[in-house]
């Protein structure tokens, strides 16, 4: 279950952040990570002051959170630090083991790591009150079946935080990204906004809100493919395994330029407009019908 390594790492780093009253020094491996973190915060991620993993998706100690395709565990760790009970799954055992080691160090009420392809999920009906599946559905052969499983294990009234790459970004990368980026284990599905919403609603969920995010990452990926080809790099295998630092100097220059731009007066409005025009990620917040607690 893939997403860019730099993005995974910065999300994990920021999930450790304390409320604003506490000063914490964060060390970054690259300008890409630093800029990506700041861009994410401005885009609505990791709201420690309101305990929201993303704006409109609050986490409390009473919640049972399922993070399907947990990857490096950024979402799981944020929820664990809010005191929630966390269940995290991935098809790769090493990722589940790594996240499990980190969750132990948090204030999670309970935790459980599962190695699974999610068809079916080894969980009872109506298990979770919060369900997270970020950048997962584009990788799987049966996205509707995955969504059906997520619906099954959600409690009545459960909230869902779902994301897939935006069609605009995916189509822009065709011909620039290597062909393998659109083959397994990478992106075998490209969802239009309408198709994504239809799949979510087809599973029985009610769409609560929709968001776009990540203009910075769209251009970052375009520059990544271009500079990599110029350097004669091989792009075989899972894309997320290819994206770790050190990054090309041109990528780092782009990160510094973007940070300076969004830090200007009016930079926040520019970021919002560009995120809407050419997002890397499309997000749906959804709800399972029913009254919470009425499992």
Residues in the chain: 295
pLDDT in tens, 169-226: 999 999 899 999 999 999 999 999 999 999 999 999 999 999 999 999 999 999 999 9
Counting as low any pLDDT under 70, the low residues of the chain are 1-27, 294-295
Within 13 Å of residue 188, how many CA atoms lie on the same side as its CB? 12
Q: Under 8 Å CB-to-CB from 189, ≥6 apart: which residues?
A: 137, 138, 139, 140, 143, 164
- Residue 195 token pair: 């198709």
According to the model, what pLDDT value does residue 26 have?
58
263 Cβ contact partners less than 8 Å away, ≥ 6 residues apart: none
Residues 71-99 pLDDT 10s = 989 999 999 999 999 999 999 999 999 99
For 210, half-sphere exposure in the C-beta direction (CA atoms, 13 angstrom radius) is: 15
The torsion angles phi and psi of 133, rounded to 5 degrees, stand at -145, 95
Instruction: Bin 293: left if φ > 0, else alpha if -120 < ψ < 50, else beta.
Output: left
The whole-number pLDDT of residue 22 equals 32
Q: Are 63 and 53 in contact (CB under 8 A)?
A: no
Q: Do 278 and 215 touch, CB atoms closer than 8 A?
A: yes
CATH number of 5-287: 3.40.50.150
Question: Could you tell me whether strands 154-165 and 128-134 are parallel, antiparallel, or unpaired per DSSP bridges?
Answer: parallel
């Amino acid at each position: 279950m893939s997403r860019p390594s730099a993005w995974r790492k910065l999300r994990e780093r920021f999930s450790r952040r304390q409320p604003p009253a506490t000063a914490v020094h964060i060390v970054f491996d690259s300008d890409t990570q630093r800029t990506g973190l700041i861009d994410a915060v401005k885009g609505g991620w990791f709201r420690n002051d309101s305990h929201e993993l993303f704006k409109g998706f609050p986490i409390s100690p009473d919640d049972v959170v399922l993070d399907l395709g947990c990857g490096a565990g950024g979402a799981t760790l944020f929820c664990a630090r809010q005191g929630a009970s966390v269940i995290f799954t991935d098809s790769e055992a090493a990722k589940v083991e790594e996240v499990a080691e980190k969750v132990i160090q948090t204030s999670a009420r309970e935790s459980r790591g599962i190695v699974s392809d999610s068809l079916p999920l080894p969980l009872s009906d109506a298990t979770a009150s919060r369900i997270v599946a970020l950048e997962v559905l584009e990788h799987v052969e049966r996205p509707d079946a995955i969504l059906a499983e997520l619906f099954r294990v959600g409690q009545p009234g459960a909230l869902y935080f779902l994301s897939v790459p935006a069609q605009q970004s995916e189509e822009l990368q065709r011909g620039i990204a290597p062909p393998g980026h659109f083959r397994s284990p990478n992106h075998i599905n490209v969802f239009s906004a309408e198709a994504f919403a239809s799949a979510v609603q087809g599973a029985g969920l009610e769409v609560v809100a929709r968001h776009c995010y990540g203009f910075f990452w769209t251009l970052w990926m375009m520059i990544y493919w271009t500079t990599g080809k110029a350097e004669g790099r091989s792009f075989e295998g899972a894309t997320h395994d290819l994206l770790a630092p050190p990054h090309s100097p041109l990528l780092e220059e782009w990160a510094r330029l973007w940070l300076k731009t969004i830090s200007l007066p009016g930079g926040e409005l520019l970021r919002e407009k560009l995120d809407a025009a050419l997002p890397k990620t499309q997000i749906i917040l959804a709800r399972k019908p029913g009254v919470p607690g009425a499992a």
